[in-house]
Amino acid sequence: MADAGITVAVTGPTGDVGRAFMRALERSRDVTAVRALGRREIDPASEGWKKTEYLRGSVLDRDAVDELVAGADVVVHLAFAIMGASGADGNEVNLDGSRNVFGAAVRAGARRLVYTSSVAAYGFHDDNPPLLTENVRPRGTDAHSYSKAKAAVERLLSEMTIGTHTDVYTFRPCIVAGPDALMFIGSIPYVQLGDKMPSALWRLLEAVPVLKPVIPDNGISFQLVHHDDVAAALRAATLGRGRPGVYNLAAPGTLTMRDLAEDLGWYAIPVPELAVDVAAEVAARLPFIPEDAQWLNALRVPMLMDTAKAQRELRWRPRYGVRETLRATIAEARASQLLR
């Protein structure tokens, strides 16, 4: 049975998952108070947060974190530096910031600690099983700083909470999408690499209106999950449903880059698998590699997850299928003029 009348402390409330999760907490009758810590200057009332006290600060500030978690029944850690994860600042936020949050939660005697990791924590390895279950060890991938950092934070979480009385829930969602999560659109290979295309090709594309943007497709399938469905799983853990542990999250169904191109109204061009392998290997060896280029590793092998455990233990039922999630993301990206 879920707990009632609880106080929840949240880091990273304004991120892709954070906003959806805050809405879920505000709607929950079992949650009486929420405290949230973020770097942005926001007005809780303008966000529709009626039972939330917002603290402006950083997870690197131990005093701010201690203030956040004091008296909280549940601590939910969402703060994570994504695009800057390869730099010193990103590593500091991800590792030192997480250490501050985990330590404060344990010292404060929080009943539950909920952390959002990623499918990337498993690592992009050729020997991964065809379908990843929660029993697969998160190894990360050194050439992909986001993947490496997610695996490192999971190890840190395990080390800091073993033998404590705090129940730990770790979620590994696949690519998070939806109207509040437009970063997925920004990671599409054409969008990121378009300004690096040869100028002659750019002139051709501009001069011939019938030509549409092109996405490389090597046939690898991938998953998406709607941010509202991630928020629903987080809320279930916050309320104490299911057993503590690790949970995969993904919407029903899979996509390929060809499916993505179809919904965008673009073209997909078959790319030999070897070409992706070579490009990713070259990118891994270059110094100061840009963060977006490292995602080439994600196209090398399938990263498909089994979500039966979340459905069984948490009674998690995603409201949005993978194609529905994709189309909602594209519609918002076009409304926001991120896409033409």
Q: Which two tokens stand for residue 174?
A: 């696949």
Q: Could you read off the pLDDT of 119-158 as tens digits, one per residue?
A: 999 999 989 999 999 999 999 998 788 899 999 999 999 9
Checking if the pLDDT of 213 tops 80, the result is no
Other Cβ atoms closer than 10 A to 158: 13
Least trusted range by pLDDT, from 63-67, 202-206, 314-318, 333-337: 202-206
> What's the whole-number mean pLDDT along residues 157-164?
96
Q: Which two tokens stand for residue 185?
A: 């659109």
pLDDT band at 203 (very low <50, low <70, confident <90, very high): very low
> What's the whole-number mean pLDDT along residues 266-290?
56
What is the gyration radius of the CA atoms in the chain, in angstroms? 20
CA gap 53, 306 in Å, rounded: 36
What's the pLDDT at 296? 53
Checking if the pLDDT of 321 tops 60, the result is yes
Give backbone dihedrals phi and psi of 117, rounded to 5 degrees, phi first: -95, -135
Other Cβ atoms closer than 10 A to 182: 18
- Please report the domains of the chain, with CATH numbers, ordered by start residue: 6-177+224-251+304-319 (3.40.50.720)
Q: Could you read off the pLDDT of 294-316 as tens digits, one per residue?
A: 555 566 678 999 999 999 999 99
Reference 189, options 212, 213, 170, 169; nearest CA is 213
C-beta separation of 32 from 51 below 8 A: yes
Single-letter code of the amino acid located at 184: F
Query: Number of C-alpha atoms within 13 angstroms, CB side, residue 111?
Result: 16
C-beta separation of 39 from 75 below 8 A: no
CA gap 277, 296 in Å, rounded: 8
Q: Which two tokens stand for residue 152?
A: 């490192």
CA gap 260, 256 in Å, rounded: 7
